[in-house]
């Protein structure tokens, strides 16, 4: 399965990845699905699409689920009860509440539903600090 990785030594904190995320999800969505760590300098934090995702285990409606075929943790807003247990349960702090769109959860979807179908944060990183790599499932 593929995961987004970042080489923090190459990252210059330009936030091009966040802009690419916003643009790839359309003009109506003005917020990035990438969390930002500001400890000393800005750098992105990506959903790890965990093998044992706490966000999925705490979701009482099934809005968060792990797709066993792709290994991705997916969000179905039509099933979401807006309890935000998934946000509280994520040990990496990458899930966010979208205040603009009916209190939905925002998370990385690897640009699956976009025109390109390829993570734009990876495609647009000017320093090639963000890569899409094959990882083994535990």
Bridge partners, 104 (sequence order): 98
* Residue 103 phi, psi dihedral angles, 5° rounding: 55, 45
CA distance 113 to 63: 16
pLDDT band at 67 (very low <50, low <70, confident <90, very high): very high
pLDDT number for residue 39: 66
Burial (0-12, 13-18, 19+ Cβ within 10 Å), 17: buried
Match domain 50-107 to its CATH number in 3.20.20.140, 3.10.20.90, 3.30.930.10, 3.30.70.20: 3.30.70.20
Nearest to 23 by CA among 123, 130, 133: 123
pLDDT band at 138 (very low <50, low <70, confident <90, very high): low
Neighbours of 76 (CB within 10 A): 12
Fold of 1-46+108-132: Alpha-Beta Plaits (3.30.70)
C-alpha separations of 36 from 66, 79, 115 in Å: 24, 27, 25
pLDDT tens, position by position, 91-111? 998 998 887 776 789 889 898
pLDDT tens, position by position, 22-52? 888 775 656 678 877 766 677 788 899 999 9
Q: Is the per-residue pLDDT at 131 higher than 80?
A: yes
Where do the structural domains in the chain lie, given as residue ranges? 1-46+108-132, 50-107
Mean pLDDT of 67-80: 92
pLDDT number for residue 62: 96
């Amino acid at each position: 399965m593929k995961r987004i990785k970042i080489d923090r030594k190459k990252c210059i904190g330009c936030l091009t990845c966040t802009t690419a995320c916003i643009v790839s999800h359309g003009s109506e969505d003005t917020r990035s699905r990438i969390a930002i760590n500001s400890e000393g300098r800005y750098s992105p934090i990506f959903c790890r699409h965990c093998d044992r995702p706490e966000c999925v285990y705490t979701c009482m409606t099934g809005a968060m689920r792990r797709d066993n075929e792709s290994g991705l943790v997916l969000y179905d807003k039509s099933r979401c009860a807006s309890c935000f247990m998934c946000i509280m349960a994520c040990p990496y702090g990458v899930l966010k509440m979208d205040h603009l769109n009916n209190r939905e959860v925002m998370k990385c979807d690897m640009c699956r539903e976009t025109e390109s179908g390829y993570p734009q944060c990876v495609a647009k990183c000017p320093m090639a600090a963000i890569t899409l790599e094959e990882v083994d499932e535990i």
